[in-house]
Amino acid sequence: MRALTIRQPWAGAIAHQTKRVENRTWKLPAKHEGARILIHAGADRDRWAVVYGDHLDVYSAIVAVATITGCHYSDDGRCCGPWGEENVYHWTLADVTALPEPVPAKGTLGFWTPDEETVNAALRQDTEVAW
């Protein structure tokens, strides 16, 4: 299973709010479309971001599990509501499950593969929440 590192507060907005699009300058590799991934809150905060709410102060941890359902380019950003940015690719997300307990993990930019223990700790919580 792959993980995607996202800076805060965006990772928290995916896990605990309504953000269902990840804005990226690069197109989603086709092999990841439809994949269930781990959402990792990076070690750094996006200094330009303004998002209010709880759960936005967790860093270097897996905070959610989600499915990437597609990717499209947007000139104006309006297609994906208030979370979409203009002139970037929108990776659409669904079936997002916030983890009750973040799983500490050191990530890296882009997609990466966490160790088996980290994946299992996250998936156990994903299964518990689903029931």
Q: Give tens-digit pLDDT for 78-99.
A: 999 999 999 999 999 999 999 9
CA distance between the termini of the chain: 21
Domains in the chain and their CATH numbers? 3-130 (2.30.130.30)
DSSP string, the chain: --EEEEEETHHHHHHHSS--EEEESSPPPGGGTT-EEEEEEEEEE-TT----SSS----SEEEEEEEEEEEEEESSSGGGGGGPPSSEEEEEEEEEEEEEEEEE----SSEE---HHHHHHHHHHHHHHH-
- Check if the beta carbon of residue 49 is closer than 8 Å to that of residue 19: no
- For residue 40, the model assigns a pLDDT of 98
pLDDT at 131 over 50: no
Whether residue 105 contacts residue 44, with contact meaning beta carbons closer than 8 Å, is answered with no
Mean pLDDT value across residues 55-63:
93
pLDDT of 3: 98
Report the percent of the chain where pLDDT is more than 70: 97
Mean pLDDT along residues 25-54: 94
Q: Rounded CA gap, 74 and 91, in Å?
A: 11
> Is the per-residue pLDDT at 127 higher than 80?
no
Q: Is-above-0.85 flag for pTM? A: yes
Q: What are φ and ψ of residue 70, in 5° steps? A: 175, 180
pLDDT over 70 at 125, yes or no:
yes
Mean pLDDT score across all residues of the chain: 94
User: Are the beta carbons of 78 and 84 closer than 8 angstroms?
Assistant: yes
pLDDT bin (cut points 50, 70, 90) of residue 67 is: very high
pLDDT at 129: 60
Q: How far apart are CA 67 and CA 100, in angstroms?
A: 18
Average pLDDT over residues 8-14: 96
Residue 50: its pLDDT value, please?
Answer: 86
